[in-house]
């Protein structure tokens, strides 16, 4: 198969010519296009190609996600998940397929939407192409339409109601396999296929869904260069410096290219791709964008067969030499023994730096959803942050951090802004606190490990209540009036219900509960407990009252010193394994598997899921944080918001 019909330099020249010749100025406005009041128009143009070959006659659509229902893994496509077509009827520019409008590409793969679209401010927008002649035997030599060739590229946020201001940084857009991979992974928590993508942002009580969706679109733009269509070595957001897995994106792009640069579904490349790219229900993909989405949602399935489709002769280089799975992780550095991790209601990720010496020691780092570190955060460090470990975020999006080592005492600190924080030693009662959580009543619950007790702190009155009789508490999961605690002593689990005295869970002699460490509440308040044993370990599920074990998974096959637990909006449980540098996934139906996170994990400790379906892991071994893109299902953040109106259950979807 030839892959050099059109060189990248030629594509760049075509892009430049399209910008210079098709329009008199790339940002000029098209007059005379009727749009609804309050909507915006602007020129959008670009190029569609498979590998390095242009797709001639491809149909390019412009969509925004449904605002009625969630898409995502396991969701069946319906009218409520239909993406919304944004192209308008402009003679000479758009063509109707009987339902939606599209524009076509020319022999060089270029297209020009001109101003033939309308979008409302705040709408997330993407392009989707269907078919086209890949000209795989040579540029200008017809080889026939390939209807299985579908591609995606994120445009971004429609930002302004001012004409010409909708997409100020997106006047030329490349569509290829790499942009499709980026979109598929970033939007995996919302996507069923290329034309069914959504979040219920228009429904009452689901405003967080819009935030999560917007962050997901920004993540897609963070992975590839929108103009060239090539993977970015580092994340593209201004001020962000994450390491992008270029070789993985190239490998996946080459896998798709085998089908795109072919005769279509009956070709061996397409057949192999579709037979091995399946959704959670076992249904095969029928086009390349769908295949990319299915791979993103099921990154451990049929890895070897799919991997063998990519070769060193593929159009995207360099590629991986081996792959344990297809999980995609962006790595952010500049930390110091990161430990605890939590996500706020905007999607910002807060990480405690527990290192005692060196840059960023004894501090907290905040990453934006695209990995931009908050600059000049004077409130993120200071004398009261000695070896911080535990962190939790309240309903006002204020982080609470406990210092685990003394510096004139132990302290609990609330960050109220980048320049303001308030610390208290709670009357000197803190002693080596390990974990922090926020209850539905708004109080801060602290696992006070050194004193063998639990402290409930009221931020409004500054009053504190101490609950004794919890030896060596490790983690705490605050619920609706019921706090669960793990202990490293004889009795592994404890609870405090509605302010009553500490109760011992009736599982003290249960062999499934060995060395419990991290705990988290799943849907219906079932508790998941990580048993931290080197050379093995376990994940145990108990009923809400801690009276019975519901399920248990254990052994070296899946666990090796498991540490902490996070649960996403599909009740999928995620566990970090400190010794094996792996991530364990337990699905809502009970299936357990291990994932490599692209080999980025190193001494993983804290873990958190976010509003967009990403999973974040703190790597204490190499001072980094891994953002595992699109691996999970969007979940309400901060965690306490799951317990408050309009939500009422842990691990809710936004």
Q: Would 387 be classed as within a structural domain?
A: yes
472 shares a domain with 357: yes
Q: Would 267 be classed as within a structural domain?
A: yes
Using 50, 70 and 90 to split pLDDT, how confident is the model at 162?
low
Residue range of the domain that includes 81: 8-307
420 shares a domain with 284: no
pLDDT of residue 26: 29
Is the CB of residue 346 less than 8 Å from the CB of residue 645? Answer: no
Q: In percent, how much of the chain has pLDDT > 90? A: 82
Q: Which of 307, 338, 358 is the last residue of a domain?
A: 307
Rounded CA separation 503/495 (Å): 5
pLDDT of residue 168: 83
Q: Which of 272, 307, 342 is the last residue of a domain?
A: 307
338 shares a domain with 303: no
Q: Would 478 be classed as within a structural domain?
A: yes
pLDDT at 163 exceeding the cut of 70: no
pLDDT of residue 161: 57
Q: Would 648 be classed as within a structural domain?
A: no
pLDDT at 145 exceeding the cut of 80: yes
229 shares a domain with 190: yes
Cα R_g (the chain), whole angstroms: 26
| 3-state secondary structure at position 130 | strand
393 shares a domain with 273: no
257 shares a domain with 165: yes
HSE-CB at 158 with a 13 A cutoff on CA atoms is 25
pLDDT of residue 345: 98
pLDDT at 408 exceeding the cut of 60: yes
Rounded CA separation 631/328 (Å): 8
136 shares a domain with 245: yes
Q: Which two tokens stand for residue 467?
A: 């609950």
pLDDT at 486 exceeding the cut of 60: yes
Which carries the bigger pLDDT value, residue 1 or residue 354?
A: 354
pLDDT of residue 501: 84
Q: Which two tokens stand for residue 159?
A: 């930002």
Is the CB of residue 388 less than 8 Å from the CB of residue 376? Answer: no
Q: Would 324 be classed as within a structural domain?
A: no
CA distance to 69, 277, 625, per residue, from 376 (Å): 39, 45, 20
The number of distinct structural domains making up the chain is: 2
| 3-state secondary structure at position 27 | coil
Rounded CA separation 563/488 (Å): 13
Q: Which two tokens stand for residue 132?
A: 């086209």
547 shares a domain with 458: yes
Q: What is the rounded average pLDDT of the residues 110-135?
A: 95
Rounded CA separation 200/206 (Å): 6
CA distance to 475, 489, 596, per residue, from 515 (Å): 12, 8, 24
Closest CA to 572 of 618, 531, 615: 615
- Write the DSSP assignment of 413-432 as a string of letters: EEEEETTEEEEE-GGGT--S
pLDDT at 263 exceeding the cut of 90: yes
pLDDT of residue 128: 99
Rounded CA separation 272/262 (Å): 12
How far is C-alpha 327 from the chain's CA centre?
A: 11
The predicted-structure confidence for 589-637, as pLDDT tens digits, reads as follows 889 999 999 999 999 999 999 999 999 999 999 999 999 999 999 999 9
Q: Would 320 be classed as within a structural domain?
A: no
What's the pTM?
A: 0.93
349 shares a domain with 217: no
Q: Which of 250, 274, 307 is the last residue of a domain?
A: 307
What is the DSSP-derived secondary structure letter of residue 80?
Answer: G
Q: What is the rounded average pLDDT of the residues 441-458?
A: 97
452 Cβ contact partners less than 8 Å away, ≥ 6 residues apart: 468, 469, 470, 471, 472, 473
CATH code, domain carrying 541 = 2.120.10.30
Q: Would 233 be classed as within a structural domain?
A: yes
Rounded CA separation 135/138 (Å): 6
Using 50, 70 and 90 to split pLDDT, how confident is the model at 377?
confident
Is the CB of residue 626 less than 8 Å from the CB of residue 330? Answer: yes
239 shares a domain with 130: yes
Rounded CA separation 43/62 (Å): 13
The predicted-structure confidence for 515-545, as pLDDT tens digits, reads as follows 899 999 999 999 999 999 989 999 999 999 9
Which carries the bigger pLDDT value, residue 489 or residue 246?
A: 246
Q: Pseudo-torsion of CA 466, 470, 476, 480, nearest 10°?
A: -60
What is the DSSP-derived secondary structure letter of residue 84?
Answer: E
Q: What is the rounded average pLDDT of the residues 294-313?
A: 97
Q: Would 654 be classed as within a structural domain?
A: no
- Give the lowest-confidence range in 93-107, 261-275, 286-300, 542-556: 542-556
Q: Pseudo-torsion of CA 438, 442, 443, 448, nearest 10°?
A: 0
Residue with tokens 């809710």: 652
pLDDT at 261 exceeding the cut of 80: yes
Is the CB of residue 518 less than 8 Å from the CB of residue 478? Answer: no
pLDDT at 29 exceeding the cut of 50: no
Is the CB of residue 604 less than 8 Å from the CB of residue 583? Answer: yes
**Which phi and psi (to 5°) does residue 21 adopt?**
-105, -40
371 shares a domain with 270: no
Using 50, 70 and 90 to split pLDDT, how confident is the model at 170?
confident
634 shares a domain with 513: yes
pLDDT of residue 31: 27
pLDDT at 497 exceeding the cut of 60: yes
């Amino acid at each position: 198969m030839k892959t050099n019909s059109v060189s990248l330099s030629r594509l760049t020249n075509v892009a430049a010519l399209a910008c210079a010749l098709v329009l008199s100025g790339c940002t000029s406005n098209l007059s005379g296009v009727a749009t609804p009041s309050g909507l915006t128009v602007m020129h959008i143009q670009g190029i569609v190609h498979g590998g390095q070959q242009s797709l001639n006659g491809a149909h390019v659509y412009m969509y925004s996600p449904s605002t009625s229902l969630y898409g995502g893994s396991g969701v069946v496509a319906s009218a409520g998940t239909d993406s919304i077509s944004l192209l308008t009827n402009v003679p000479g520019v758009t063509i109707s397929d009987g339902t939606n409008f599209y524009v076509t590409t020319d022999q060089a793969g270029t297209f020009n939407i001109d101003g033939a679209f309308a979008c409302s401010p705040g709408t997330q927008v993407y392009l989707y192409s269907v078919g086209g002649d890949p000209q795989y035997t040579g540029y200008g030599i017809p080889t026939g339409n390939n209807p299985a060739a579908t591609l995606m590229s994120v445009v971004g946020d429609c930002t302004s109601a001012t004409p010409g201001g909708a997409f100020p940084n997106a006047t030329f857009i490349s569509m290829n396999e790499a942009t499709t991979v980026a979109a598929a992974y970033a939007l995996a928590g919302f996507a069923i296929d290329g034309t069914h993508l959504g979040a219920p942002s228009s429904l009452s009580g689901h405003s967080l869904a819009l935030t999560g969706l917007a962050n997901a679109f920004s993540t897609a733009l963070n992975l590839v260069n929108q103009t060239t269509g090539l993977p970015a070595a580092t994340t593209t957001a201004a001020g962000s410096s994450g390491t992008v897995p270029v070789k993985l994106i190239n490998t996946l792009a080459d896998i798709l290219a085998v089908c795109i640069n072919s005769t279509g579904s009956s070709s061996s490349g397409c057949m192999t791709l579709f037979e091995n790219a399946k959704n959670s229900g076992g249904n095969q993909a029928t086009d390349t964008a769908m295949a990319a989405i299915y791979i993103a949602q099921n990154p451990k399935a049929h890895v070897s067969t799919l991997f063998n489709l990519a070769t060193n002769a593929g159009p995207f280089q360099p590629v991986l030499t081996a792959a344990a799975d297809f999980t995609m992780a962006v790595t952010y550095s500049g930390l110091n023994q990161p430990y605890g991790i939590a996500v706020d209601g905007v999607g910002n990720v807060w990480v405690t730096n527990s290192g005692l010496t060196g840059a960023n020691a004894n501090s907290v780092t905040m990453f934006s959803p695209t990995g931009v570190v908050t600059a000049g955060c004077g409130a993120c460090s200071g004398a009261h942050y000695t070896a911080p470990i535990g962190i939790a975020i309240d309903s006002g999006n204020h982080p609470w951090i406990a210092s685990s080592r003394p510096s004139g005492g132990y302290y609990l600190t609330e960050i109220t802004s980048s320049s303001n924080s308030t610390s208290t030693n709670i009357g000197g009662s803190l002693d080596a606190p390990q974990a922090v959580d926020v209850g539905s009543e708004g109080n801060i619950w602290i696992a006070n490990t050194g004193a063998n007790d639990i402290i409930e702190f009221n931020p409004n009155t500054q009053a504190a209540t101490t609950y004794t009789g919890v030896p060596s508490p490790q983690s705490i999961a605050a619920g609706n009036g019921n706090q669960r605690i793990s202990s490293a002593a004889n009795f592994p689990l404890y609870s405090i219900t509605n302010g009553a005295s500490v109760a011992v869970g009736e599982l003290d002699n249960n062999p499934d509960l060995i060395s419990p460490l991290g705990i988290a509440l799943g849907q219906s308040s079932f508790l998941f407990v990580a048993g931290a044993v080197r050379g093995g370990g376990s994940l145990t599920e108990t009923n809400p009252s801690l009276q019975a074990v519901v399920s248990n998974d254990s052994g070296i096959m899946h666990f090796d010193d498991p540490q902490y637990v996070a649960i996403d909006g599909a009740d999928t449980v995620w566990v970090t394994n400190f010794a094996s540098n792996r991530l364990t996934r337990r699905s809502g139906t009970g299936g357990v598997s291990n994932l490599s996170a692209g080999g980025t994990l190193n001494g993983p400790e804290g873990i958190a899921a976010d509003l967009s379906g990403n999973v974040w892991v703190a790597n204490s071994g190499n001072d980094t944080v891994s953002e595992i893109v699109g691996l999970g299902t969007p979940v309400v953040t901060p965690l306490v918001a799951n317990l408050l109106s309009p939500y009422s259950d842990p691990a809710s979807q936004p």
